[in-house]
Structure 1
Amino acid sequence: MADEIVNVNEFQELARQALPKMYYDFFAGGAEDEHTLKKNVQEFQRIILLPRVLVDVSNIALSTNILGYTISSPIMIAPTSMHKLAHPQGELATARAAAACNTVMILSFTASCSVEEVAASCDAVRFFQLYVCKRRDIAVNLVQRAEKSGYKAIVLTADRPRRGRKETDIKNK
C-alpha cells in the first residue's frame, strides 16, 4: 500500500493489518449472516455527490446546529463500542478528536471507558447512547451518571430486542 491513504477502503485494510483478527472481525462484522451490514454498504455506495460548477464557493459554511449546539459540519461520531480494542486510549482519544473537530460524540452504551472518564477527557459535546435493559435500574443509573457528567442528550437505541449473534465472534471464541 502506498504511503498516503487516499480512500476509506485503505483505512479498512490498514485496520485489518494492524489489529488482531478477532478485534478486526469485531469492528468489521455484523450480526447473523451480515445481510444488514451488506445492505448498508450497498446503500452508502448509492450516494452520489453532485458537483456544482461555476458557483461561488469563496464563502461556504458546513456548520449546523444539533439540539442547540453548533458543530463544524453535519457529521457526528456515532456510538461504537470497545474502542480500546483498536487503541489504548479508546473512547478518550475519540472524545478528544470530536472536541478538536468541533462535533458531537455519542458514547456507546458498551464503551470500554466509563461515562465519567470520557467526560473528564475533554470539553467535547457528548451524547450518551442508551439501550433500555430489562432491569430499569441499570438504565436509570446510567442516565443519572451521564447527566451528572455533563452529557447533553440521550440517544435511545430501540432497534434490538436482544444482542446480535455475531458469527465472527463465535468463530473467534
Structure 2
Amino acid sequence: MRRFVSLAALLLCGTVVMVAGQAQPPAPAAPQAPAPAGGPPADWLPPTPKNLKLLPKDTDPKQLMEIMRGFNAAMGVRCVYCHVAGPDPNDMSAYNFESDRKEHKEATRAMMKYTDAVNQAFPKEVGEAPKPGESYVTCYTCHQGQRHPPVKAKAPATPGAPAAPPRP
C-alpha cells in the first residue's frame, strides 16, 4: 500500500489534489466551461484504463485524470503528447489511450520508475520527511512546468547573492 501511495504522489508530480468542496452537494447543472485549449473538459473522464503498466490495474478514471492533470502541470504538456489522438485532437472520445506507439509515453514510464527510485533512496537525514502522499522528488522538481527540464542554473534575481568561495 505504501508503494501505491508513493507512486500516486509521484505521478501527481507535486500537484495538490483539490479536495475542498468535494463533500459539498453538487451545484445546480450549469454549462461546463471548456478546459484550456487542447485539454479535455473539466468533467470529462477517460474510459476504464486498459494498458496500465505502472499504476495499479484498479486505478479508476477519476484517479487517472488527477494523475494526468499532474503531468500537465508538471511538464506543460497535453494528452496528445503521450497519447494517440483521432482526426480531431480535441475529441477525447477518439483517442487511443491504450496505444504505446508514442515514445513520450514510454519515456514517462521510465521517468516514473526513476523518480520512484530516487525517492526510495533519498537520504532520510536530508530535509524534512515528506507528508503522507507526498514525495521528495516529483516531475515538477526538474521540469518546472516545461517539457524539457532547464539545464542551466538561473542567475540570482537580486544582486548580493552569496558567491562561490574563492579557489585556494
TM-score (norm 2): 0.24
More strand by share: 1
- More relative contact order, 1 or 2 (CA 8 Å, 6+ apart): 2
